[in-house]
Structure 1
């Protein structure tokens, strides 16, 4: 079963675009929350993301995995695919 992937973004954020591109390349369906200028939504995101307010913030099966660099680090370490397949411990 595929993992539930959520990503908080700003529409013109280059890091958000890179993160979405990696997910798209992998054929991952995700829920995107575009929060351009919405401080209330950003506060909710920060609460979920342990206080992190930078964008993007990415969640896989309700687990906070971090931002764009964190996503690419998981990919380079071979840990992203198991997470996306819902097989991670």
Structure 2
């Protein structure tokens, strides 16, 4: 490509980016047409998961107790390992 072609291409890009009105993408046009006939319902910020492990009877404190129990077990194990050295 010659330098003159580069200048013309750069001008075209600047002209296109500086346009006052930009046409929406094909997907945006498709969704706008679909939603005009059938608007989407409200969506919560954080949807509830459909499957929650053991039958949906999950309690939030169970994982906390499990993690803290593992931490205490590791601390005790390391403490007994160091205690045997002395």
Smaller-chain TM-score range? under 0.3
From the two aligned structures, give the one with the greater strand fraction: 1
TM-score normalised per structure 1 = 0.23
Normalised by the length of structure 2, the TM-score is 0.23
Q: State the structure with more CA Rg.
A: 2
